[in-house]
Amino acid sequence: MKEGSFQQRYGHLRRLIDRRLASLVKHDQPRDLRDGLEHVLSAGGKRVRSTLLILSCKAVGGRTVDALNAGAAIEMMHNFTLVHDDIMDNAVERRGRPTVHIKWDVNNALLVGDVLLGIAYECLLKTRTRDLRRVVELFTEGLLEVCEGQGVDLAIEPKRHVTLSDYFKMIEKKTARMIGMSTEIGGLIGGATARQLQALRKFGHYLGRAFQVQDDLLDVVGEKRRLGKTIGGDIVEGKKTYLLLKAVEGARGKDRTVLARMMSHAGSASDTPRRKVKAVTDIYKRWGVIETARQQIQRDTRKATGALSGLPKNDATSMLCWFSELLVKRVS
């Protein structure tokens, strides 16, 4: 099947998911709560997790209609984590729009996040599957692990000595776990065998790793207009990204001193955000870290698509492979 056909099918899936999400907002809720929910859900997004869930279901012989509620539930859970993460990070922008706690206030944002999670479970329980209990267990296990991952993220934030091993443990609980959960739940709904579920879990795991490193990379090489947030935000905040930790691992001399200052959140009076972003980006370029990140993304993507060999050969499996490549080559 040609790429143009995959693009059309992806567009169709996104429209299906968007319509389902919009239908889940109740109009008899308090106005600020309802408006906050609509603000989050109308911001769009790639619907990555829900698309992967539906395609995983179809790859093992299932139907889109059976996976749609679970796909919407995953998307609701994902947005719950974003709303709460934005509060913790004090982020002012998400997808080119004000974050909920900035547009309203922290209390309303907390409620919006809580309701998103409640709706997620309400929607998940409508899933058509022979093993709803296991679907709910996987969803709940994934939720708990994502929260643990955020806890790890918060714990390493103030630390001066953080390794790439620490970083991968953190992203495997956050990004990789939710994507792996999406593909595994999709397979379960579609009636996958134990071996097929294992393949889908491995696929999601490595794709999630690649997806997060790509996110880190886009913070440096992306465009604000397309990314929907300020370029270099991770650098300004001193986040422990793949690029920063890889640079710390290899840099020497003055460059290493600058990076050590970043790791300890120390700075000088002349460190304006713009200067800080330029200085660190120049270090990344000098030490080849940007290219190293691209190579890491390619390695994990190959491992992800390699896992698909354990699935039946059909259009949905081919589209999973295409979608993987699309995600890690994205510019937003």
The predicted pLDDT at position 231 comes to 79
Q: How far is CA 331 from the centre of its chain?
A: 14
- Chain segment 189-204, per-residue pLDDT in tens: 999 999 999 999 999 9
Give Cα separations from 98 to 43, 88, 91, 102, 237 (angstroms): 10, 15, 9, 6, 18
- Chain segment 264-302, per-residue pLDDT in tens: 765 554 578 888 889 899 999 999 999 999 999 999 999
Asked whether the predicted pLDDT for residue 143 surpasses 70, the reply is yes
The predicted pLDDT at position 177 comes to 94
Number of independent structural domains in the chain = 1
- Chain segment 40-94, per-residue pLDDT in tens: 998 888 999 999 999 999 999 999 999 999 999 999 999 999 999 999 988 888 8
The predicted pLDDT at position 178 comes to 95
**Residue 104 located in a structural domain:** yes
pLDDT class for 227, splitting at 50, 70, 90? low
pTM, to two decimals: 0.93
- The DSSP annotation for 280-326 comes to HHHHHHHTTHHHHHHHHHHHHHHHHHHHGGGS--SHHHHHHHHHHHH
The predicted pLDDT at position 236 comes to 85
CATH number of the domain within which 144 lies:
1.10.600.10
Residue-averaged pLDDT of the chain: 91
**Residue 90 located in a structural domain:** yes
d(CA 280, CA 232): 9
Q: Which amino acid is at 116?
A: L
- Residue 245 · residue 169 · CB < 8 Å: no
| Residues in CB range of 257: below 8 A, 6 or more apart | none
d(CA 83, CA 98): 11
Which helix (H) or strand (E) covers residue 68, if one does? helix 64-89
pLDDT class for 226, splitting at 50, 70, 90? low
- Residue 204 · residue 52 · CB < 8 Å: yes
Asked whether the predicted pLDDT for residue 228 surpasses 60, the reply is no
d(CA 331, CA 222): 6
Structural domain harbouring 298: 7-328
The predicted pLDDT at position 261 comes to 80
Structure tokens that stand for 10 in this block:
């992806």
**Residue 286 located in a structural domain:** yes
**Residue 291 located in a structural domain:** yes
- Chain segment 48-60, per-residue pLDDT in tens: 999 999 999 999 9
**Residue 293 located in a structural domain:** yes
Give the three-state DSSP class for 6: helix
**Residue 2 located in a structural domain:** no
d(CA 296, CA 273): 28
**Residue 1 located in a structural domain:** no
Give the three-state DSSP class for 60: coil
- Residue 129 · residue 189 · CB < 8 Å: yes
